[in-house]
Amino acid sequence: MRFSQTLYSLCAFSAIYGAASSTKAHRPLVLWHGLGDSHSSPGMLEFASLIKDIYPGIFIHSVFIEQDLEKDRRAGFYGNVNDQVEFVADQISAIPELTGGFDAIGLSQGGQFLRAYVERYNSPPINNLITFGAQHMGISDIPPCRPYDFLCQVARRTAKSTVYGDWVQKNLVQAQYFRDPTNLDTYLSANHFLTSINNEVPESRNHTYASNLASLNKLVLVLFTEDKTAVPKESAWFGSEAEPSLRFDEQEVITAADKTLIPMRHQPLYLEDWIGLRRLDEKGGVDFDACVGEHMQMGDCWERLVRKYVGGP
């Protein structure tokens, strides 16, 4: 791993996020940005600044894959997610201010990536994990691109054309959490990220994942009510599209347009507790919330959640 780069960049983050003025009065916070963003973009810097207005002196670390902002943005499209999560785990473990544990906020795909950190590493441990619009049960369509975002457009076209190809599954980020309800057998055999953190393959289930996730104080799942970018939007609440051939009792499912959606508490993943989600839920550790608007249109919605779940002693 690029440990020397990590240490160099942590010094830069101390200046950007005010590590020198951190105080033990507030639990530290880690942020993982979403698709098309970077660790210290203007939006991420503003978000961190607004949180510091609420909790003066709080230590905030924004994780990165690359120090260079454009390369870090590119890493949201291109790269091996398993390697990226491992790199971030090394990065977090090298920060003295995080040694005693921290809260974390994952924005869009940063949400399931932070969950992967909890399940696989969690040292130092996360206390409260808030995920905004995360794709916990994957997506059934590749997110659309902004006009003139050619980096995104090339990645999207490549992923859609051969989403379960070996190269695509190792190199295109969105393909690594693409879960096609009409082709689950291929998904289960080809995918090596989402199938892993959701413990979907019986032969390779890791019981440590369940213990680690269940150790959270709170997992806060935030859905965007008008989300058309993450399909289905209910993936933020561990919902997924059912296989077309399956039929369910009407009380067990949600119907959206012509699709049947399986909610969290009816997922095999939950019922058989493959990842510790049921254990966490039954002890009151899973909270559902929603922000009104499209994907990542957080408005003022984030503030009440930050005040409730971030910055504890």
Phi-psi region of 18 (alpha: psi -120 to 50; beta: other; left: phi over 0): left
Looking at the DSSP bridge assignments, the partners of residue 107 are 132
Which residues have C-beta within 8 Å of that of residue 191, sequence separation ≥ 6? 164, 169, 176, 178, 179
For residues 114 and 96, give the distance between their C-alpha atoms in angstroms, rounded to a whole number. Answer: 19
Q: Check 26, 33, 136, 295 and give the catalytic one.
A: 295
33, 28, 17: which is closest to 124 by C-alpha?
Answer: 28
Which residues have C-beta within 8 Å of that of residue 103, sequence separation ≥ 6? 27, 28, 29, 30, 126, 127, 128, 129, 130, 309, 310, 311, 312
Q: Check 38, 40, 62, 108 and give the catalytic one.
A: 108
- Contact by Cβ (8 Å): 297, 228: no
198, 263, 266, 275: which is closest to 236 by C-alpha?
Answer: 263
173, 181, 176, 178: which is closest to 154 by C-alpha?
Answer: 173
Is 108 tagged catalytic? yes
Residue 281, token pair as written in the block: 């839920």
Is 140 tagged catalytic? no
- Contact by Cβ (8 Å): 216, 128: yes
Residue 252: phi, psi to the nearest 5? -95, -10
What Rg value do the Cα atoms of the chain yield, rounded? 19
For residues 158 and 62, give the distance between their C-alpha atoms in angstroms, rounded to a whole number. Answer: 29
Q: Check 227, 235, 266, 281 and give the catalytic one.
A: 227
The 3-state DSSP composition of the chain as helix, strand, coil percent (nearest 5) reads 45, 15, 40
Is 295 tagged catalytic? yes
Q: What residues are labeled active site?
A: 108, 227, 295
